[in-house]
């Protein structure tokens, strides 16, 4: 990618060329309310919600409907912005690390699992627009799709508001991930890890149960337990059912790992 794309000294016109109008997907009234709620929760601002909406449109939608436009081009752009900002953070905050050490940390910080974890915290999964086939195959929970969508969101923010806004957003989320990677506390997909473990040990699958939910819609808390080989672990708590399941899986996985 040309280096001028990431040069914050360039004018907005040079940094953010307007895509062809046909590539933008204008959200309807109901969708606008969903996007506005997301922006408020994420602490973001968008001048053009068409950019934001486009970030959540998976290619399966255009593949099935023939509709023009999905988030792949935004993902391509967001990947470059994410990489540049993360590399800068590592360079500035870890002056004692060698090039090789910085590269290893960066590879984990921008890995699919970590990005998918951030996407879940932002509840991006609930805003995804998927084709019917992808929806039925569990696409809303796939790490690859969630990670790609987060990158598309970064690309959309960059086009809408410029490099500084994208840099601030990435810094807000990636700075903590850098420290977690250093302390070996970075995001891991505990549901997948627990499933692999239970299949190996017991030839069965974990069973999750929602036992409680509380609070208003915008501040709802979920409690989930998981049963493995007749034993119950949890409850795990989270802002949505999936994050609560991840926490319950983490508790169960740690219990088996430490026994």
Partnered with residue 57 across adjacent β-strands are 129
Distances (CA, A) of 206 to 83, 190, 197, 240: 36, 11, 10, 19
How crowded is residue 97: how many other Cβ atoms within 10 Å of its Cβ? 15
What gap in Å lies between CA 63 and CA 158, rounded to an integer? 26
- Which residues participate in catalysis according to the annotation? 79, 151
SS3 67: coil
Strands (E), the chain: 207-214, 221-228, 231-238
- Residue 177 CA to residue 162 CA, distance in Å, equals 23
Q: Which helix (H) or strand (E) holds 56?
A: none
Residues 223, 237: contact at Cβ < 8 Å? yes
């Amino acid at each position: 990618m040309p280096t001028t794309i990431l040069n914050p000294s360039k004018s907005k016109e040079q940094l953010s060329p307007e895509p062809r109008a046909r590539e933008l997907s204008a959200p309807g009234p109901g969708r606008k309310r969903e996007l506005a709620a997301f922006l408020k929760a994420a602490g973001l601002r968008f001048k053009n919600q068409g950019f934001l909406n486009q970030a959540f449109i998976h290619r399966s939608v255009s593949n099935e409907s023939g509709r023009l436009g999905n988030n792949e081009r935004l993902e391509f752009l967001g990947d470059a912005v994410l990489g540049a900002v993360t590399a800068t953070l590592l360079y500035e905050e870890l002056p004692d690390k060698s090039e090789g050490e910085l590269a290893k940390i960066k590879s984990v910080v921008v890995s699919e699992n970590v990005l998918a974890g951030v996407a879940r915290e932002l509840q991006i999964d609930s805003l995804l627009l998927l084709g019917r086939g992808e929806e039925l195959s569990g696409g809303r929970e796939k790490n690859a799709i969630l990670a790609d969508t987060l990158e598309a969101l970064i690309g959309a923010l960059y086009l809408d508001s410029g490099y500084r806004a994208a840099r601030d957003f990435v810094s807000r989320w990636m700075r903590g991930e850098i420290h977690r990677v250093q302390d070996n506390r970075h995001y891991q997909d505990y549901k997948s890890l627990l499933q692999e473990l239970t299949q190996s040990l017991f030839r069965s699958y974990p069973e999750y149960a929602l036992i409680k939910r509380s609070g208003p819609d915008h501040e709802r808390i979920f409690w989930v337990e998981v049963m493995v080989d007749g034993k119950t672990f949890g409850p795990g708590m989270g802002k949505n059912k999936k994050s609560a399941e991840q926490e319950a899986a983490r508790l169960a996985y740690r219990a088996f790992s430490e026994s």
